[in-house]
Amino acid sequence: MKGTFFITGIDTNIGKSYATGWLAREWNRKGIKTITQKMIQTGNVGHSEDIDLHREIMGIPFTPEDKEQITFPIVYSYPASPHLAAEIDDRMIPIEKIAESTRILQSRYDVVLLEGAGGLMVPITRRYLTVDYIADQQLPVILVTSGRLGSINHTLLSIEALVNRNIPLYGIVYNTFPKTDERIDKDTEEYLKTYLNEHFPQAHFWTLPEIALPR
């Protein structure tokens, strides 16, 4: 197994970073040399809290690539959409730096899990969306969803956006935390499993448990 997978979510705060760290941990345990990358980090200065979380879940120290900032090539201080965070920091977004960092990681690892910021339609610039970058780089997508009310609608809309741009759906990660309504949680998970089986039988479905971080 080799390649880069783009991890996005149906919305912000849906559990992308947990899903990214968890998949990396599980694939490394299976002997698939996996690293994570944050596409654009906002709300930080000089480091990436999402990469911090990935490493904690993976149970590993910072990698040489982390120390070189290859895994988080773009960081803005304001906690906002990348286009606005870049404008507030008065810095251009060097989009080509993301792909260059990914290429370096691809040369050292079997799999790169590239975590986006927010959902598919989040603007990177005023005229360039996250989904545009995914399409330009021809990356298969892993979509993170959950059982919170509205998730079915947002999941299917996200899938429609992928289909409209001929972007392959590699799989869905169903985040079980935080718990909301048990009946809605269970029904949403079963509905999405059935939908995926009927419309995207080649795609994977993972259930992300409440993660007990290694100490």
Q: Residue 92 is encoded by which pair of tokens?
A: 């251009």
Residue 67 known to be catalytic = no
Q: Residue 120 is encoded by which pair of tokens?
A: 């598919």
User: Secondary structure of the chain in the HEC alphabet?
Assistant: CCEEEEEEECCCCCCHHHHHHHHHHHHHHCCCCEEEEECCEECCCCCCHHHHHHHHHHCCCCCHHHHCCCCCCCEECCCCCHHHHHHHHCCCCCHHHHHHHHHHHHHHCCEEEEEEEEECCCEEECCEEHHHHHHHHCCCEEEEEECCCCHHHHHHHHHHHHHHCCCCEEEEEEECCCCCCHHHHHHHHHHHHHHHHHHCCCCEEEEECCCCCCC
Sign of CA dihedral 147, 152, 157, 159: positive
Contact present, 159 and 8 (Cβ < 8 Å): no
**Active-site option among 16, 30, 38, 67:** 38
Active site positions, annotated: 38
